[in-house]
Amino acid sequence: MKRVGYFFLYFSLLVVALFQIVPLLWLFIFSLKDNREIFAGSPFALPSEFRWENYLKVWDGGIGIYFFNSVWITTLAIVLTVLFASMATFAITRMRWRLSGAVLSLFIIGLMIPIHSALIPLYSMFLSVNLIDNPLGVVITYTAYNLPITMMILLGFYYTLPKEIEEAAVIDGCSVNRMFFQVILPMTTPVMATTVVINMIYNWNEFVFVNTFISSEKYKTLTVGIQNFIGQYMTDWGAIGATLIISVLPIIIAFIFFSNKVVEGISASAVKG
């Protein structure tokens, strides 16, 4: 019975994996075809000629600018979010002060605010401080909206850290700042990897804020910039497929490299003692 249970478990996981992989495989094959092969042949048939020029065409057409913007905006927002969330979580869980519970409640309330309900107030505020059509406005927004969920992931892990480590650091003459950056922060690497992946997926795929706050082509990210390529290459479906592959590839690569850390981080946050 145990073997039968394992068989059905792995079979189910295999089916789920196929449902995830097949669309990506189809999109990759799609991106290497021309219009004639896309509409005349089988959707899963290999192209008669691998048209790598589809990727060169969209890259030379300007998608490189959108890709670079997505990379640096996503990276900067992740660094700020994880750093600020780690500092806030450390202060709330490891330090004693009167309003720590109230401050934590304020951060948790941030999870309850719908994103779209803040668009008009944010636009008005950014307009008054000249952050409209400025990528820093997008970075600030990403950081603020991802702080609550990042802190919720970090909280469980920080509560499990033994007090003896901090006491030993204080005896050795560590200040609070040095203790955080040299002792506590390195210990939270597994759970930080989890928050990095979650933040990356959200920031990389985000559309609404960039579309609302950014109008200049030189500041647009991939999610918004792809719209221009769909219009520009309306009859060149292979080029459109190439833009989509370029947009999803970084997320897949990041998850492959960080998948083990994600599992470790989730397990570490769930176990106490």
Q: Is 125 exposed, middle or buried (0-12, 13-18, 19+ CB in 10 A)?
A: middle
Residue with the two structure tokens 């478990």? 9
Give percent of the chain above pLDDT 90. 30
Compare 35 and 273 and report the one with higher pLDDT: 35
Question: Rounded mean pLDDT of 14-39?
Answer: 87
Position 261 scores a pLDDT of 65
pLDDT in tens, 196-235: 988 998 999 999 999 999 989 889 998 888 776 665 555 6
Residue with the two structure tokens 């030993």? 168
What tokens appear for 230 in the block? 């769909």
What tokens appear for 147 in the block? 């702080």
- Tell whether the model's pLDDT for residue 137 goes beyond 90: yes
Question: Residue 272 in 3-state DSSP?
Answer: coil
Question: Rounded mean pLDDT of 11-30?
Answer: 89
> Could you give the CA distance from residue 136 to residue 80 in angstroms, rounded to a whole number?
12
The amino acid sitting at 147 is L
CATH code of the region 62-270: 1.10.3720.10
pLDDT in tens, 254-271: 877 776 666 665 555 554
The amino acid sitting at 103 is V
> Could you give the CA distance from residue 157 to residue 163 in angstroms, rounded to a whole number?
13
pLDDT in tens, 93-132: 888 888 888 988 888 888 888 877 888 999 999 999 999 9
Position 229 scores a pLDDT of 65
Residue with the two structure tokens 């804020």? 209
What tokens appear for 192 in the block? 């930080």
Position 272 scores a pLDDT of 46
pTM: 0.84
- Which sequence spans correspond to the domains of the chain? 1-51, 62-270
